Each structure stands twice: as C-alpha cells, then as structure tokens.
Amino acid sequence: MKIRHITRAVWILSLVSLFTDVASEMLYPVMPVYLQSIGYSFAFIGWLEGIAEAVAGLSKGFFGRWSDQLGRRLPFVQFGYALSAVSRPLMVLWTQPFGIFTARTADRLGKGIRTAARDALLAQEATPGTRATVFGFHRSMDTLGAVIGPLLAFGYLYLFPGQYFWLFLFAFIPGIISVGLTFLIPEKRLPPSDNSKIPSPFTSITYIAKASPAYKKIVLGLLVFALFNSSDMFLLLRAKQLGVSEAGVILLYVLFNISYVALAWPMGRVADRIGKKKIAIYGFLLFALVYGLMSNFNSPNFLWLPFILYGGYYAYTEGISKAWISDIVKSEELGTAIGSFTALQSIALLIASSAAGLIWQYFGAQVALLLSGIIALLTAFYFMRIKSISPSAS
C-alpha cells in the first residue's frame, strides 16, 4: 500500500499519538527509578502498574461500547487525550501513595477512554486488505514519539541528574499539543445503535460471551499470554539491576523504540500479504527469545540485543492483533470488540504485573522473566495449531 492510502484522519491520529507518546515516554523509562528514589518497592511498582492498567482496560470496553451506541468516536478521543495530558505532572506534586496512585490511574483512565474509539476510527479508514498496514503506520508514528520522549529525558537528566520535578512538568507541553490536534480529526459518524442508556460496566464480559467462535479463538490465545506478560518496566528494572546507569536505561529504551518504529509499518504491510496470524506467531517467538536472554544475562555488555529484538516483538504483534480482530467483526461493533479485548488484556496485565513483582521480590528476576518466556512459546504453539480464523489470517 502506498503512502497516499494513508488518509488525513490516519495521519492526524498518528500525529496525536506521536505527541502523546513524546509526553508519556519522557517519563515512562524513568518512572520505576523515580518511584524507587522516593521509597517505593518492586512489589508496589508492580501493583501500581497493574492496577492502573486494569482501570484503563475496564474503561476501554465500557467506552468502546458507548462509542458504538452513539455512533461517535471523536469526543472519546479528545477527552481521553486531555485527561492523560493533565494528570502526568501530578506524579511529582502528589508523592504520597494515594496521590501517586490517583495520578497514574487518571493517566491510564484517559488511555482507556480514547483507545477503543481511536482504534475504531483507524479501522474505519481501512479495508480488511489494508488494516495491518494502517495500524502498523499508526504504531510507527506513535512509537516515534517513544524515541523522541526518552531522548529528551536523557538530555535533561544528563544536565540535571536525579532532578525529576521539572521533567514531569515539561511533559505537559507535548501532551497539550496532542489535545489540540484532535480538533483537526475528521469523523465519519455512524448511525447510533442506542442513545438511551449508558453501557453496562460488564460490557466486555457479555460481549465476549456472545461473540463469534473466530473472535473467541483469537482473544483466548492473546489473553492467556497477557496473564504472564508483565509491565515493560520490569525489563528496565532488570537492566538497572545488571548495572546499567540511569542514562543507559533510557538509551536502551530508546533503542527498543527505534527498532519498533523501523519495523511496525513494514510488518503491517507484510501481514496484509502473508497473513496476520503468521506474523503474530513470529512475534511471540521473539518475545520468548528476549525474556530468555534477559533472564540469563549476568552483565550489561550485550543488553542492546534483547532490546532491539523486543522492538520486533511489538512490531509483529501490537497493531497486527487489533487489525486481525477488526477483520472479523462488524463496523458498528469495532469499538466494543477492540475495547472488550483490551479491557480483559489489561486485567490480565494487573495479574501479571502484580505476580511478577512478587516473584521478582521473593524468587528473583530470572524466575519471573523465564516464566513469561515459556508462556510466550506456548502461545506461539497454540496459534500454530489452530486453523485460519479470518480471511487474512491464512
């Protein structure tokens, strides 16, 4: 697919995501180090990330369904990005546990409000034969922000080591730019299915229960994997544990994101040609290799390798899984279908991150990382064994 097939809406949504990721990724790689510096444990960090992502996930299903009912996507996109932009600086203003929890959860709630509606907008701008490409392009642009953000953080912390206060406040600027860009997005409204009532908070569970067998097969495999796929913060903590400096941790994170940027769009195009299932399987195998390496490394000398490969895992799975799901549901159910999947995925992340924090604290990093790698291998075998489950998955 040529660049001209990337529509205006896809371009603007991608730029919105780019600036949002500049803001969030200025903070993400230093977040665990910052939290440790003000006295929080590995277990608390895992619990915080898991709870925050679970809140985001539950809201994805709820707000995705609501956007389907109203036939509107854009208001959810605008409010979600605004909430995240405002909440990030609060992490250094409210440093007590309740304040940290509130600020981080509000940031993730903003993500939950916007994600399903945004992904539905992207899916509506493509066809089954181009969806992985569109999602891949969006992921590349999004992740370009995740390269720029950490580099800005690296430059700041190089000049002002250990001084986090102004870094968190500076992250507000690109966040507000992203909110302004949302007002330029054209929206193709759909006929409302039901304006009369607010969706049930159990939308995700009820939708999956009545969904098609094809949808259930995809979601089952992805959710079992998610139950053992903890927050990426643990890879950064592992690098720090192996002796990498604060600046080095940020550079490794940048390297991971450069790999993701370089591969996401090309892999989307390849997935549209040879099948989304096949590319996703390669992604899970890459994940297993990365976590196997990280669990066995005893020095920081070759950590660049697993971080490059980890970018490949994301490029092979993140956007492609949503494109795969979009192929097998009706357009008027896109928000609900994607939101329901990401809702339960985030609940699984709560379990995975909380468990990983405890396993790490009591049994060590090697056990926590190796377990995740083994489950990724089993997930790859699961998708190898099941038959093709969408027109473009063969």
- How confident is the model at residue 287, as a pLDDT? 93
The three-class DSSP label of residue 164 is: coil
φ and ψ at residue 186, rounded to 5 degrees: -80, 140
Are the C-beta atoms of 145 and 25 separated by less than 8 Å?
yes
- How confident is the model at residue 240, as a pLDDT? 82
Which pLDDT band holds residue 42 (cuts at 50, 70, 90)? low
Which pLDDT band holds residue 202 (cuts at 50, 70, 90)? low
Are the C-beta atoms of 394 and 324 separated by less than 8 Å?
no
* DSSP assignments along 291-321, one per residue: HHHHHH--SSTTTHHHHHHHHHHHHHHHHHH
The model's pLDDT over 145-164, given as tens digits with 9 standing for 90+, comes to 878 988 898 888 888 877 78
The model's pLDDT over 77-126, given as tens digits with 9 standing for 90+, comes to 999 999 999 888 887 777 777 788 888 888 888 988 998 889 888 888 87
Are the C-beta atoms of 339 and 286 separated by less than 8 Å?
no
Please tell me the least confidently modeled range out of 190-194, 216-220, 350-354. Answer: 190-194
Give yes or no for residue 392 having a pLDDT over 50. no
The three-class DSSP label of residue 73 is: coil
Which pLDDT band holds residue 201 (cuts at 50, 70, 90)? low
Which pLDDT band holds residue 1 (cuts at 50, 70, 90)? very low
Q: Cβ atoms within 10 A of the Cβ of 392, count?
A: 21
242: CB partners within 8 A, 6+ apart: 297, 298, 299, 300, 303
Which pLDDT band holds residue 346 (cuts at 50, 70, 90)? confident
Which pLDDT band holds residue 334 (cuts at 50, 70, 90)? confident
Domains and CATH numbers, the chain: 7-183+202-385 (1.20.1250.20)
Which pLDDT band holds residue 253 (cuts at 50, 70, 90)? confident
CA distance 33 to 40: 10
CA distance 123 to 126: 5
